[in-house]
């Protein structure tokens, strides 16, 4: 019976050692996992900081672009009005030239007919 008891004690001792080793492995695994999570958290924090800086820069550039676009639109409106004012006399002169050429051609035709008929 003493052998059985010794054997049971030995088995219990081995079980405790195995359990103790297993707990140590689990504890070490938890520590490593915690360190990885901490490192990922730090990396994520750095990325977010960089994204915020980039976002701020892009927002400033966008505001500047919008301001320039608005100024260009205003300048375009001014230029469009000036173009209309500058083109209008040229169009009027073109119409007058055509009308005068037409009148001249008509008068020339009348003079030619009168010469043929001997009226001049």
Residue 1 has pLDDT above 70, yes or no: no
Q: Give the range with max mean pLDDT: 45-49, 77-81, 83-87, 104-108.
A: 45-49
* pTM of the predicted structure, to 2 decimals: 0.44
The Cα–Cα gap between 89 and 95 comes to 10
The per-residue pLDDT for range 91-106, each reduced to its tens digit, is 888 889 999 999 999 9
- Kindly state the tokens that stand for 120: 């001049």
- Pick the range with the lowest mean pLDDT from 6-20, 47-61, 87-101, 104-118: 6-20
The per-residue pLDDT for range 33-42, each reduced to its tens digit, is 999 999 999 9
């Amino acid at each position: 019976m003493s052998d059985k008891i010794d054997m049971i004690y030995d088995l219990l001792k081995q079980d405790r050692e195995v359990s103790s080793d297993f707990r140590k492995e689990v504890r070490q695994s938890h520590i490593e996992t915690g360190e990885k999570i901490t490192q990922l958290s730090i990396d994520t924090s750095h990325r977010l900081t960089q994204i915020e800086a980039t976002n701020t820069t892009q927002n400033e550039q966008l505001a500047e672009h919008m301001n320039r676009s608005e100024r260009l639109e205003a300048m375009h409106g001014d230029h469009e009005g000036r173009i209309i004012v500058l083109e209008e006399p040229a169009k009027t002169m073109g119409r007058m030239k055509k009308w005068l050429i037409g009148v001249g051609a008509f008068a020339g035709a009348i003079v030619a007919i009168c010469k043929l008929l001997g009226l001049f």
